Amino acid sequence: MGLKPIKVLEEIDKLRDWGLETLTKMISVPTVSPLGDRYEEFKNLIVEELSHVGITPKVITVPSEVVKECLGPEPAKYPRYIIIAKVGSGPTFHLNGHYDVVPGGSGWTVTEPFKPKVIDGKVYGRGSTDMKGGIASALLTLLALMKFESYLNFTYEVAMVPDEEVGGKSGTGYLVKSGISKPEYVIIAEGSSTRSVWIGHKGIVWGRVIVRGRSAHASTPWLGVNAFEKGVEVAQLFIKELKPRIESKVSKYEYDIEEGKKATIMFGGVVKGGAKINQVPSEFTFTFDRRVLPEESVEEVWREIKGFTNELRRRGYDVDVELISSSNPVVTEPTTDLVIKLKEATKEVVGIEPRATVCIGGLDMRYYIEAGYKAVTYGPGTPKTAHAPDEFIVYEDVINVAKVYAVTARKLF
């Protein structure tokens, strides 16, 4: 970039009022997924706000059949939009932000979920941290760079996508698969805080253990096989024998939370069994949630669980296991130029050098990394306020992150 970055940073400061007004307008639209019945209103808002400053974004409608396959028939009644705005030319520096949010929920004391309020520099409202604050940062950088577009030797691109909170296949997944954008570098503007660059995240294996018995009348239980009683035994064996094996596996990467370095498995999120109080249950099921380290693969994790189940069958239990869903872990190595330059930029703007860590939850960056792109997650806000009552974001963090994006771009191109 032939322009001194200080000019861009000064321009971001001049845009403070625009950014705050746009952020509160975005929060005011309850873009709750999976239904997505207010997505069109959000799309219209963004198109209008950007048109006022001379930017005409590209709007892509996700095919309804894709939405139906991913989310079912009811959400497919409402269009999904991917909104892309960009300036410059040349290799692409791509920012991604999801505009869908979780339901407002109860327990709010400062304001109502979709009536944003600004108090002492904090913007309260559902989606402030997760993640309309990140979208605001990305757009602030976009507007600042637009003023100096003739100096740019790269394309700065912002993609606003739906449905991250429900898996992302009909949002970022569709965008990446379509090949509409082929970026050199990707930053997901999710709220990692300025203290962390998320270079990856764990994978997930969700499954169900099925224990079978034989039904009988409760007055003659000896004529049946109680699947509940057998299921309790099976669950205890999973907990006492398999769980310690799994938790002995430790990642080499850094995590925001020290406990996150371990592989984990959680049993019993959903438990079912029996149909009637006076009938011996013929089936008992319980689920498990296995978080997969970047050093592992979904395939080897599934083999381990399947192998343990087969071991229990050899011990005489009528037990099986089925896979519900899975996603692979992903990681961008901390020595990658994107990670190094982003850390340097944060140090210059904020005065602290963030850690390169693996996120314990799932993120949309998996779609980019699995497609071969360099991608990390870095944005304003902190995970502890996301999805919570009185969700908020410190607006100064929104401004600082916008500046970090600009400085990172200057360092990379």
Per-residue pLDDT tens digits for 152-208: 999 999 999 999 999 999 999 999 999 999 999 999 999 999 999 999 999 999 999
Q: What homologous superfamily does CATH list for 5-201+329-412?
A: Zn peptidases (3.40.630.10)
CA distance linking residue 260 with residue 269, whole number of Å: 19
User: Percent of the chain, pLDDT > 70?
Assistant: 99
Q: Tell me the β-bridge partners of 85.
A: 158
- Whole-angstrom Cα distance, residue 252 to residue 262? 10
Which secondary structure element, helix H or strand E, spans residue 246, and what is its range?
helix 243-247
pLDDT-derived band at 383, boundaries 50, 70, 90: confident
**Which whole number is the average pLDDT over 276-305?**
98
Contact 12, 402 (CB under 8 A): yes
- The pLDDT value recorded for residue 362 is 87
Whether the bond between 34 and the residue before it is cis, its omega within 30 degrees of 0, is yes
The band of 277, judged by pLDDT with boundaries at 50, 70 and 90, is very high
The alpha carbon of 340 is separated from its chain's Cα centroid by a whole number of angstroms, namely 22
Average pLDDT over residues 323-329: 94
Is the CB of residue 147 less than 8 Å from the CB of residue 9? no
Enumerate residues 6+ apart whose C-beta is below 8 A from 25: 45, 49
Could you tell me the pLDDT band of residue 3, with boundaries at 50, 70 and 90?
low
Is the confidence at residue 5, as pLDDT, over 90?
A: no
List pLDDT tens digits, range 90-112. 999 999 999 999 999 999 999 99
pLDDT, residue 125, reads: 98
Classify residue 104 as left (phi > 0), alpha (psi -120 to 50) or beta: alpha
At 2 the pLDDT is 55
Residue type, 367: Y
Average pLDDT taken over every residue of the chain: 97
Distance CA 116, CA 26 (A): 9
Model confidence at 24, pLDDT cuts 50, 70, 90, reads very high
CA 366 to mean position of chain CA atoms: 9
Of the candidates 215, 239, 217, the residue with the CA atom closest to the CA atom of residue 308 = 239
What value does the mean pLDDT take over residues 30-48? 98
Domain ranges of the chain: 5-201+329-412, 203-326
| CATH of the domain spanning 203-326 | 3.30.70.360
Beta 319-327 vs 203-212: how paired, if at all?
A: antiparallel
Residues 30-53: what's their mean pLDDT?
98
Looking at residue 401, its pLDDT comes to 99
Mean pLDDT to the nearest integer, 217-242:
98
Total-model pTM: 0.91
Inter-residue contact 114 to 30 (CB < 8 Å): yes
Mean pLDDT, rounded, for 349-364: 95
